[in-house]
Structure 1
């Protein structure tokens, strides 16, 4: 941990990674449920994924607020990794929703 990275920043970064990872995992489970025709469970998993994304955004907002208030933020590989995790998870959840819709259409046809 960098000398300038305080405990609060580290906790925010780790929270971002954890919640973004949970969102991606839930989205993958949602796709698997849709693949099996379990659309209600797939939608529940997507809702969980969106909740995790919201928590990740809160962690990110905490970091942004600290920096905006003048608190120095050291950019480390861990910081970059956390942002990468968030952006990947957002994209993955969006794509999972589309894939679930495709499965729903294929069942109707």
Structure 2
């Protein structure tokens, strides 16, 4: 079987998005324990992972914008789902951490 085109960018989206979500969850857990510096550090890591995921996505968007035909596969849709979930989860994690800080 032939390796799907753009596999590296697609896997970057999945990997970095998953890492971002995991870091955000760890941030919530740290805040729950009152460890706000650690929570902030975890959220910084989450945002760095989101930036890496966005870079993977941008590489695909740039190719398409320059006229390259980008095949939409189930794996690519899956990767985009991971990114959108990670963004939403990180946004909500920030809110949870703020709530724990205000407690």
What interval of TM-score do these two structures reach, taking the shorter chain for normalisation? Answer: over 0.9
**1:87 is matched with which residue?**
84
Tell me by how many angstroms 1:2 deviates: 6.5
Structure 1 residue ranges, 4+ long, deviating more than 3 angstroms after superposition: none
Residues paired across the two proteins, number: 103
Q: Is the aligned partner of 1:100 residue 2:80? A: no
- Where 2:56 maps in the other structure, the secondary structure is helix
Task: Please report the RMSD computed on the Cα atoms of aligned residues, expressed in angstroms.
Answer: 1.3
**1:12 is matched with which residue?**
9
Gaps of 5+ in 2: none
Q: Give the TM-score of the pair, scaled to structure 1.
A: 0.90
Q: Give the TM-score of the pair, scaled to structure 2.
A: 0.96
The structure 2 residue matched to 1:49, chosen from 21, 46, 60, is 46
The structure number with the bigger radius of gyration is 1
